[in-house]
Amino acid sequence: VSTKEAILFFLKDNFGNFISGEEISRSLSLSRTAIWKNIQSLKKEGYQIEAIPKLGYRLIKVSNELLASEIRYKFKTGLFNKEIYHFNKVSSTNNVARAYAADGVLEGTLIIAEEQIKGKGRLGRKWISPSGGIWFSIILRPEISPIDASKITILTGVAVAKAIEIETGLKVQLKWPNDVLIDGKKVVGILSEMSAEADKVNFVVVGLGINVNFDMKVFPEELRDKATTLKKLLGIEVDRVILFKTVLKEFEKAYFSLKEGDFKKVLSEWRNLCEMLGKRVKILALDKEMEGEALDIDEHGGLLLRLPSGEIRTVYSGDVTIKK
Ligand code: BT5
């Protein structure tokens, strides 16, 4: 913990109450000047801190941003916590994460942005990422074979769905391979990217975009009945820091299940959240179109599809529409 973070945590522990400079100085073994300097720097980050002679300092309002210190505060985890990079604006957190991963940063490193200018979906599609959403990427170095990499997308879907249900009470549905929907509208997008050799994964970057607190009018016309935000669904804003931390906790649980060889548990949770199993679906995979019944997903994250001929085919990527 840096000096600035130590001061912040002390103020947060005493939120709304004055603590004297002397007390901070004694508890953290810091000079009064060091405290003053760090308080100025916290104010620049958006923290509202009152300073009154004789009374001391008082934290009145925390920053609105998904700052690293907000995430680290009272957050026990085995996977994250290490390096958290927060940006106001980036092209795409996945691109930043890939560069960092190639540079050798540790597993569990997080890249977070308030806004993305070139947020991306699969196959070069665009991902709309205005401020008010949660846009971030996780760097992982899993000891799995590349063929199992789609397990990571599956477990991410389960984790984010559970976290949203926990924090908002809304009912979330999953759609293979990477959609997270509420009332049939997309609220989260997941983009996993991998760097691998024939039999070894170098790293996986999992990008998550959650539509939290922004207005529907940000979406272009054609997306307004396909996409939604938590704010729109709830009628109020959601505390992004709280939601974000729950997503991380659920992610960690699901990821550790995978590492401990207990992916079956994650798969059965995925099945429970998925509304398309047993239904007739159309899949567009690259340039091929297939129709059939969605039977199940297998342990590699592939979708088992029963074609009209009765043949069962496993599909590893594509876009699905559920037929009425
Ligand atoms: C995805 O792609 O759903 C993956 C999106 C991943 C976004 C995260 S944000 C953090 C990280 N950094 C990045 O640059 N990306 C990741 P796909 O299944 O291809 O869906 C893309 C399609 O969803 C677009 O073509 C639009 O139709 C629609 N779309 C775009 N922005 C949206 C939004 N904010 N909410 C819902 N739908 C959206």
CA distances from 306 to 128, 173, 275, 301 (A): 34, 22, 17, 16
Instruction: Write down the pLDDT at residue 82.
Output: 79
What's the CA gap between 121 and 179, in Å, rounded? 11
Q: Going along the chain, which residue ranges are E strands?
A: 48-52, 56-61, 84-90, 110-116, 134-140, 173-175, 179-182, 185-196, 201-210, 280-285, 288-297, 303-306, 312-315, 319-322
**CA 92 – ligand 1 centroid, Å:** 11
Q: Are 277 and 294 in contact (CB under 8 A)?
A: yes
Q: What is this structure's pTM? A: 0.95
Cβ–ligand 1 distance for 218 under 6 Å, the answer no
Residues of the chain with pLDDT under 50: none
Nearest to 192 by CA among 159, 154, 160: 154
Please list the residues that pair with 84 across neighbouring strands. Answer: 110
Contacts of 310 (CB under 8 A, 6+ apart): none
Nearest to 5 by CA among 100, 78, 60, 84: 84
Instruction: Write down the pLDDT at residue 286.
Output: 80
What's the CA gap between 214 and 115, in Å, rounded? 12
**CA 164 – ligand 1 centroid, Å:** 18
40 exposure class (CB count in 10 Å sphere: 0-12, 13-18, 19+): exposed
Instruction: Write down the pLDDT at residue 29.
Output: 96
Instruction: Write down the pLDDT at residue 156.
Output: 98
Hey, how many other C-beta atoms are within 10 angstroms of the C-beta on 94?
26
Cβ–ligand 1 distance for 110 under 6 Å, the answer no
Q: Going by CA atoms, what residue is nearest to atom 28 of ligand 1?
A: 127
- The three-class DSSP label of residue 75 is coil
Instruction: Write down the pLDDT at residue 300.
Output: 87
Q: Going by CA atoms, what residue is nearest to atom 9 of ligand 1?
A: 209
Instruction: Write down the pLDDT at residue 153.
Output: 94
Q: How many CA atoms lie within 13 A of 211 on its CB side?
A: 28
Instruction: Write down the pLDDT at residue 109.
Output: 98
Can you tell me which atom of ligand 1 is nearest the CA of 122?
A: 19
Q: Determine if residue 203 is left, alpha or beta; phi over 0 gives left, psi from -120 to 50 gives alpha, anything else beta.
A: beta
Please list the residues that pair with 115 across neighbouring strands. Answer: 89
Cβ–ligand 1 distance for 207 under 6 Å, the answer yes
Instruction: Write down the pLDDT at residue 147.
Output: 87
Contacts of 196 (CB under 8 A, 6+ apart): 146, 149, 202
Joined tokens for residue 17: 């109450």
Can you tell me which atom of ligand 1 is nearest the CA of 91?
A: 14
Instruction: Write down the pLDDT at residue 43.
Output: 96
pLDDT digits (tens, 9 = 90+) for 155-209: 999 999 999 999 999 999 999 988 999 999 999 999 999 999 988 999 999 999 9
Residue 105's φ and ψ, nearest 5 degrees, are -65, 160
Residue ranges of alpha helices (H) inside 169-308 are 230-234, 240-259, 263-273
